[in-house]
Chains A and B, each alone.
Chain A
Amino acid sequence: MSAASDRRPTLAVWKFASCDGCQLSLLDCEEELLAVAGAVHIAQFTEMSRAAVEGPYDLSLVEGSITTYEDAARIQEVRRASHRLVTIGACATAGGIQGLRNFASAGEYIATVYARPDYISTLATSTPIAAHVPVDFELHGCPIDRHQLLEVILAQLAGRSPRIPSHSVCQECKARDTVCLLVSRRAPCLGPVTRAGCGALCPAVDRGCFGCFGPAETANTASLAGRLLEDGARRVDVSRLFRTFNAGAPAFREESLANEPRPTR
């Protein structure tokens, strides 16, 4: 079937600064992917094939954050060429782990790490896609959940809103009958302020939630931080807990900064 005579909606997958893990979730969908491949024309997806076509695209999935001048310009083109644009993963929705540079000076890092800093051309920050162009839907997670990704694609194609919960991880934890680590063992856990989606994976294997899906819809991070401090965490621990893959999400960023140890005189 030639692209011109194909009436199926076109799907494009774009990569910015990221590890590819989220895009690979789509390949992970196996059987379901075949159905998606039947329902849509995958026009641009470097992880699957190199055959790219010109836009416009009905649906663009965007992975990765904006860290370079070139990417800041490219995302504008992608937006112009896309009817609907969905960002996937912590990089695209919050700036990703590379967003740690936003807390420091990129110039100093470059000078420390590279032998020839003058070869490096980069922005001072790593920012989410929504900081540059309008985004139709943000799918959170580091990495995203493949079933949620399918739901988002199907919903976008059907013109309905996707059924993606934005409540806390705790609710998934309770649904699977995990004994709460925070209450029974004082383990640091970000579940109460983190968006569901992973199925409360970490508490089920005895590790407090890392916050991979970013802030939940109503994230009272200050109250949770208070509990962690009461349990004996140091401020620097709390600051670091909120400063990982979703460090750039406003609720986590503010809590991380609020607990940053101040230099004592």
Chain B
Amino acid sequence: MGASSPWKAQHIAGAPNDTAPARTDAADATVLDVEGLVTLLEVLARRGYRVLGPRVRDGAIVHGELSSVADLPRGWHDAQSPGSYRIEHTDDEAFFAWAVGPSSPKREVFPARSVAWRGRVSEGEVAFEDGDAASEQRPTALVGARPCEAAALGVLDRVLGDRGAGDPHFLKRREGAFLVVVECATPSGTCFCDSMGTGPAAGNGFDLALTELAGDGGGHRFLARAGSEIGAEVLSCLPGRPADEADRAARTALLERARTSMGRVLDTAGLPALLARNVEHPRFDEVAERCLACGNCTLVCPTCFCSTVEDASDVAGVLERRRSWSSCFDLAHSYLHGGPVRASTMSRYRQWMTHKLSTWWDQFETSGCVGCGRCITWCPVGIDITEEAAAIRRSDGARRGRRGGR
């Protein structure tokens, strides 16, 4: 792929403050029917992609290999609230009438565990070899990602990618990838992408964007837009017709309904500064009473990028540098000589929340949160970052006592 990669060519990030103009209108969209979706999966497979998309597994909608549209979660819906996730099946025909699952596309570009390099020791010499990313020959096509997830990949570009650390493993996985975003019709009880400006409409950061329309009298169909050269190339292989006024009106109505059914709202006005001046707020002690310091929120977050490395060797002289996800809820995360800097759960929760919503701006000129709601749903005790931010805003300037420690 290389030169024709959509990511390098256009520097698309999709982050809320991105300089690339977001195109959310559907002026030149193509209308595909269900056969068009079938063809899309076939075209992607023919072009050599490993096609991933939403599937039902173990009571959730997660990414898995798709062999045909029959694998898609047709008729499945999700119900999410703090600390709770359920799916249920109805007989409706929609493929994408759910919000987001537990796993984000982060896993595809930044695996939970991977080998950064290998080495072999023989006769006192070490021969180095590439790690896992180099041996992954087939690029990934992810079908059914959400606008907030495209935005999250844009945030990761600024952290690990070509606008950040330039991590070669991340770049390899990211540059080859093809992203089919499906706009959101049914946000969950923990979604707040509307507050973060990352959804429910797809702005940029995709190769193809689809809007699934059904039940408006126009038949079950998809409005399709290309967001990259390669996306346009794929779209030109699909059977479709130009969108008309009725199609566009149906999409506008769908997005409006989605906007008004967000389960959560986050007031972002002056939020980075609000948190920066409230690091001693008593709310952090209160949330620490409930917080398990389990780290689930950081691992499900589509933008959290912390990792740790460990060198290993075996009896046969094979060396490995292993990299795995890590979390600021671990004591080891802030361990300097003599002990951890963030010993209390209070200071660890504060690190997480202020990094996502405040200091991320200083570091990467964007929000670290795209409003996907995962940290709220998958927190075992339902701690809600939007509620914590609102509580601090309500009592801006309050100061914690001396309890709680560092």
Interface residues, chain A, with chain B CB atoms under 8 Å away: 31-32, 34-35, 163, 165-168, 170-171, 174-180, 182-186, 189, 191-193, 206, 216-218, 220, 223-224, 226-227
Q: By the criterion CB–CB under 8 Å, are B107 and A180 in contact? A: no
CA–CA, A193 to B296, complex, Å?
A: 12
Measured between beta carbons, the chain A residues less than 8 angstroms from B380 are 170, 180, 182-183, 189, 192, 224, 227
Which among B103, B299, B345, B382 is the interface contact of A218 at CB below 8 angstroms? B345
Contact A177 B62, CB 8 Å, known A218-B331, A224-B292, A224-B380: yes
Which among B84, B289, B290, B296 is the interface contact of A170 at CB below 8 angstroms? B296
- Nearest B residue to A38 via CB reads B315
Measured between beta carbons, the chain B residues less than 8 angstroms from A220 are 290-293, 345
Which among A31, A163, A216, A227 is the interface contact of B83 at CB below 8 angstroms? A227
CA–CA, A170 to B294, complex, Å?
A: 6
The smallest C-beta distance from A12 to any residue of chain B, in angstroms, reads: 22
The smallest C-beta distance from B302 to any residue of chain A, in angstroms, reads: 13
CA–CA, A221 to B325, complex, Å?
A: 24
Measured between beta carbons, the chain B residues less than 8 angstroms from A186 are 84
Q: By the criterion CB–CB under 8 Å, are B299 and A224 in contact? A: no
Q: Which of B52-60, B165-173, B181-189, B235-243 contacts A (4 or more CB under 8 A)?
A: B52-60
Which among A32, A163, A166, A174 is the interface contact of B299 at CB below 8 angstroms? A174
Measured between beta carbons, the chain B residues less than 8 angstroms from A167 are 295, 327, 329-332
Measured between beta carbons, the chain B residues less than 8 angstroms from A206 are 58
Sample (22) of A-B pairs whose CB atoms are under 8 Å apart: A31-B315, A32-B315, A163-B310, A167-B327, A167-B331, A168-B294, A170-B299, A174-B299, A179-B102, A180-B296, A183-B84, A183-B378, A184-B86, A192-B292, A192-B294, A216-B294, A218-B293, A218-B348, A220-B290, A224-B381, A226-B290, A226-B381
B324 interface hit (Cβ, 8 Å): yes
> Which of A174, A189, A192 is most buried by chain B, counting CB atoms within 10 A of its CB?
A174
CA–CA, A220 to B381, complex, Å?
A: 11
B253 interface hit (Cβ, 8 Å): no
Number of interface residues of B (CB under 8 A): 41
B391 interface hit (Cβ, 8 Å): no
- Nearest A residue to B295 via CB reads A171
**A32-B314, A168-B294, A174-B295 provided; 6 other pairs, C-beta below 8 A?**
A165-B330, A166-B332, A171-B294, A174-B325, A180-B378, A223-B290
Number of A-B contacts (CB under 8 A): 112
CA–CA, A223 to B345, complex, Å?
A: 13
Measured between beta carbons, the chain A residues less than 8 angstroms from B86 are 184
The smallest C-beta distance from B277 to any residue of chain A, in angstroms, reads: 27
Q: By the criterion CB–CB under 8 Å, are A171 and B291 in contact? A: no
Which among B59, B84, B292 is the interface contact of A193 at CB below 8 angstroms? B292
The smallest C-beta distance from A67 to any residue of chain B, in angstroms, reads: 32
- Nearest A residue to B57 via CB reads A179
CA–CA, A89 to B236, complex, Å?
A: 62
The smallest C-beta distance from B324 to any residue of chain A, in angstroms, reads: 7
- Nearest B residue to A223 via CB reads B290
Q: By the criterion CB–CB under 8 Å, are B112 and A223 in contact? A: no
Measured between beta carbons, the chain B residues less than 8 angstroms from A217 are 293, 330-331
The smallest C-beta distance from A168 to any residue of chain B, in angstroms, reads: 4
Q: By the criterion CB–CB under 8 Å, are B377 and A183 in contact? A: yes
The smallest C-beta distance from A183 to any residue of chain B, in angstroms, reads: 5
CA–CA, A163 to B132, complex, Å?
A: 22
- Nearest A residue to B86 via CB reads A184
Which among A170, A174, A189 is the interface contact of B112 at CB below 8 angstroms? A174
Q: By the criterion CB–CB under 8 Å, are A174 and B292 in contact? A: no
The smallest C-beta distance from A254 to any residue of chain B, in angstroms, reads: 16
Measured between beta carbons, the chain B residues less than 8 angstroms from A31 are 315
B117 interface hit (Cβ, 8 Å): no
